[in-house]
Structure formats: C-alpha cells, structure tokens
Amino acid sequence: MNILIIGNFQFPFGTADSSRMRHFALGLTEAGANVRVVCQVPIYDRPEDICPDGSRRYMGIQYESVMNTNYQYKEKLTLYGTFLYYTHFVFGAMKSATRAKEIFESGKIDAIIQLNRSYISLRPFVKLCKQMHVTFIQEITEWPASHLFKLGVLGPFHLDCKLAMYRCITKADGVVAISRFLTDFYAQRGVPTIRIPAIIEIPEEMPEFSGTECENKEFNITYLGGLFAREGPLEMTGAIRKLLLKGLPVRLTIVGSSGVEGTALKFRKVCQADELLRDKVDFLGRVSDEEVVRRLQSADALVFPRINDISSRAAFPTRLPEYLVSGRPVITAGVGDIPEYLRDGIDAMVVSPCNAETIAQRIEDLMKMPDRGKSIGANGFERAREFFNYKTRTKQIFEFIQEVHKNKPKG
C-alpha cells in the first residue's frame, strides 16, 4: 500500500508533530507500506539524508518540503514577523496541494495521512482526494480552544481552525486522533476513527539512574517543555516555593525554554523576583537530544502538570512517554486520557486537582519513600512499553487505513 504523509510539520525532526509523523512513517514502513512524506513548511537541511539523485531519505523514507529548505522564520514578536510567518503558511498550503496532485498523477497513491488544522490547507485536499479517488485519513492531535488564539473567538485563525474541524475533517474517510475526546467527537459525526496516543521508540531495557544518590542532596525535579500556560508553569513555581518554605532541599530544572517570551517570560520573572526561587530554578533553554535524555535520566523526579481545560482534555501530552521511558518517577495531572494509562501511586503520581498544593505534596511523598520513587519509575517504564510503543500502534494504524480503504466507495 502506498501512503503519502503530508502536512504542516517538519521532518524528520523539529517539533512534537515531527516526532509523531516520523514514528508514523517508520512504523508504517516496517508494517509493509511504501511511505512518502511531504512537508508544507521549511525543513532543516540534513546532508546525510541527501541521495545522489538529489532526493532526501531518512531511514529509507523519501521526504521533501515544498518550501525553501533551511528557511528560518523571523521571530513572531513583531507585526512584520507575524505577517511573514502566515504568508509563508498560506503559500505552503497552496504549494503542498499542488505537489500532492503531481504525486497522485505520476504514480499510484492509495491513501494520504494529512496533519493540519487549517481550513485553508485542508479544503483543497478534501476535493483532490475525492477527485483522484484517494483515501483521505486525517490525523488530529488538538482542539482549537478559543483561549489559545490572541483574539479568541473573533480571531481569523480560530475561525480557520474551527472551519477545518467542522467542514473538512468531517469529510475525511477516517480519522486518527490522539484522545478519546477527539475520537468520540468524529465518531458521533459518522467518521471512522481510531485512537492513537503519543508514541515513541521504547528502549529494550530501562536506563540506569545517572544522578547522584545521597540522602541529603537536593532533590532535582526536571520539567521538559515550552512552559505554555496549559502546562501549569505557575503551579510548578508554587509547588517548589511551598517545599522551600518547609526547608526541603529541592531544585527545579527547566529544559527546553529560556523563558524569554509569552507565559515562559512571566514564569521567569516570577522566579527572578522571588528570593526563595531565584537560585533554585534553572533555565537551560534548548539543548541537544542527547542532553535532553541525560537530564531526564539524571533527575530525581520529572514533573509535567496540565491545567484542566478543553484543550488539555482533547489533547495528550506527547512528552509523557519520553518521561516514562527515562525510568524516573513522573508527577503529572489526572486530565483527559492520562488516568486510563497511568495508575496513581503505582505507575506515576497522578495529581487531581493539579495545583501547587497537590504537586508539592506528591514531590514530598517521593522524597520520603525509601527508594525515592524508583519502583514507580520502573512501573512507568513498563506502562510506556505497553501503551506507547510506536511499533504496536502503527500496526493498528496500518490495519485501520487498509480497512477504511477497502470500505471506501469506488468511483
């Protein structure tokens, strides 16, 4: 079966969407599909992936971008930067539809997997797949909650996403969704659906703890992410402060954000203005993949709060499996689908409600455990192996696509 994966993501690396599509492509290829990838945004130049004929291949998977490779968007902190970003987004949408048509006409494509949340981008694909009799599978990982957009419900980008959700994705032949919320939403509208949570490659064995084991040392809590509002950065701040007020030796390490804009900047200002927090919260910014792994494996505990709103209930934290495979105890929120996969106090510390008080209490509970949460970390690793293994999940996706393709009306 020939499958084209296309959409608003970089490949093979870049963002959470990049990781998800990379694992889709690898798993589907291993399951027997012939996979090709087209990105509608610029991608990083990887000389090691360039073939003699000029094409790009990652692990045998051919991929390309319809935009200039290595083009770097200007910071979206200015009006011009914002205009430039969205102008390229629209151009990328139009060029990706044109490129898809060329691929359809030059060779046999049985199905496409589209990752996009824009009506502007999706509408041409709905028409194209119908015209070319190609099975259209939509991948969806988020709900366009109005508070995520600058102008709320009045914003043009919120309207664009809502139109996509109701007018385009409902016309897909099938939907691969990351959460029960999203699968239920489209199943109720008559669209065949399958739920696939966050997926990653699972190591054969749980990694060894690479930190320092000493009863009196600081208890190092690590967070990996962008400090977005729905991830509860201020709740983390409050938890650390409560523990410090009790005289407990704790430190919070932020990996992935330098705290220079948006909610992250607010979070950093709070830390810098507080005498207790100033020297107990470290901002490492973006680091290499190898350093991310090292930081996760050397932490005493990993924290990933989630605010209980519609955007969190409809999504699934793509970094959660990364936390779990580190073998370290994880503190997260009982929001959305998380309690279906993780048992509180057994596989992770699943807090509900997710606030400074509950997070602080669970960190203190870990500090008091004889093994400081090692057994919880080990159980979490096994749950990741059971639920988030990309090999198992992509086999389910392939079977789903084959079934949808077989049942699609011909002609």
Place of tokens 């948006």: 262
* Helix or strand run (H / E) with residue 114: strand 111-115
DSSP letter for each residue of 272-336: HH-TTTTTTEEEEES--HHHHHHHHHH-SEEEE----SHHHHHS--TTHHHHHHTTS-EEEE--T
Rounded Cα distance between 43 and 72, Å, is: 9
Rounded Cα distance between 351 and 335, Å, is: 9
C-alpha angle with apex 193: 8 to 61, nearest 5 degrees?
45
Q: Are 373 and 366 in contact (CB under 8 A)?
A: yes
Rounded Cα distance between 58 and 25, Å, is: 10
Least reliable range by pLDDT among 43-47, 152-156, 340-344? 152-156
Q: Average pLDDT for residues 167-181, to the nearest whole number? A: 96
pLDDT of residue 232: 87
List pLDDT tens digits, range 68-124: 655 454 445 566 666 666 777 778 888 899 999 999 998 789 999 999 989 988 999
List pLDDT tens digits, range 16-75: 899 999 999 999 999 999 999 999 988 888 999 999 999 999 999 999 999 865 545 444
Closest CA to 124 of 102, 94, 104: 94
Buried/exposed 333-363: b ≥16 CB within 10 Å, e otherwise = bbbbbbeebbebeebbbbbeebbbebbbebb
- Does residue 385 register a pLDDT over 90? yes
10 Å Cβ neighbour count for 165? 20
Residue 196, both tokens: 């696939």
* Amino acid symbol at 55: S
Most confidently modeled of 196-200, 211-215, 307-311?
196-200
10 Å Cβ neighbour count for 216? 5
Long-range contacts of 400-404 (CB under 8 A, 24+ apart): 400/174, 400/176, 400/192, 400/194, 401/1, 401/3, 401/111, 401/113, 401/135, 401/137, 401/174, 402/1, 403/192, 404/111, 404/135, 404/137, 404/173, 404/174, 404/192
Residue 407, both tokens: 């049942």
Q: Say what the alpha-carbon torsion angle 36, 40, 44, 45 is, to the nearest 10 degrees.
A: 60
- pLDDT class for 299, splitting at 50, 70, 90? very high
pLDDT of residue 210: 59
Rounded Cα distance between 253 and 83, Å, is: 34
**pTM, entire model:** 0.91
Sheet holding 56-58, edge to edge: 56-58, 61-65, 34-39, 2-7, 111-115, 135-140, 174-177, 193-195
- Per-residue DSSP letter, 172: S
10 Å Cβ neighbour count for 298? 16
* Helix or strand run (H / E) with residue 94: helix 79-106
List pLDDT tens digits, range 266-290: 888 889 999 999 999 999 888 888 8
| Burial category of 100 from C-beta neighbours within 10 Å (exposed 0-12, middle 13-18, buried 19 and up) | buried
Q: Where do the domains of the chain lie, and which CATH numbers do they carry?
A: 2-201+389-407 (3.40.50.2000), 219-387 (3.40.50.2000)
Bridge partners (DSSP) listed for residue 329 = none
Q: Are 344 and 334 in contact (CB under 8 A)?
A: yes
Q: Average pLDDT for residues 322-344, to the nearest whole number? A: 95
Q: Are 79 and 70 in contact (CB under 8 A)?
A: no
Place of tokens 């709900």: 143
Rounded Cα distance between 88 and 12, Å, is: 20
For the chain, the helix, strand and coil percentages under 3-state DSSP, each to the nearest 5: 45, 15, 35
- Per-residue DSSP letter, 80: H
